[in-house]
Amino acid sequence: LPFQEPGLEELFEKAKQNFKATTEVEESDVFLIAVPTPLDEKTKAADLRYVRSASEMIVPHLRKENLVILESTVPPKTTERLLIPILEKSGLKAGKDFHVVHCPERAIPGKTIHEMIYNDRIIGGITKES
């Protein structure tokens, strides 16, 4: 594995027969967007180009009843102003045809596995069903 995380190698060994990594987006029930949102030094704003790119990659594969989870740390209203308009280019309507939630990542390098198991998470959906 290309990074250090206590316990990750053991977990990976247990799960690797069910794990597939790819750079290509495929049809799925759930799409998870977890991309960097670096701070633009000039404007002091979050650089959302990776969120935009990941969202655009999902559009051709989005189907009714899919769930799209935005896990990247983004400014308020990013889901409504950026993510949903891009996804709706599929011809489907967010909240009616597919579900969208924002569940910001809360991980400290070196403690990520512990935090994924024990930390409470805030999950905001655009509808009750999401």
At residue 46, the pLDDT reads 95
Q: Is 7 among the domain residues?
A: no
Count the domains in the chain. 1
| CATH code at position 72 | 3.40.50.720
Give me the average pLDDT of each 10-residue run along the chain (130 residues).
Answer: 79 86 88 93 95 98 98 95 98 98 82 80 84
**Dist CA 75 CA 48 (whole Å):** 9
**Dist CA 17 CA 13 (whole Å):** 8
Rg (CA), the chain: 16
At residue 68, the pLDDT reads 98
At residue 2, the pLDDT reads 66
β-strands 67-70, 124-125 pairing:
unpaired
Q: Is 68 among the domain residues?
A: yes
At residue 1, the pLDDT reads 62
Q: Is 66 among the domain residues?
A: yes
At residue 12, the pLDDT reads 86
Cβ–Cβ < 8 Å for 33, 68: yes
At residue 51, the pLDDT reads 98
Q: Is 93 among the domain residues?
A: yes
At residue 7, the pLDDT reads 85
Q: Is 75 among the domain residues?
A: yes
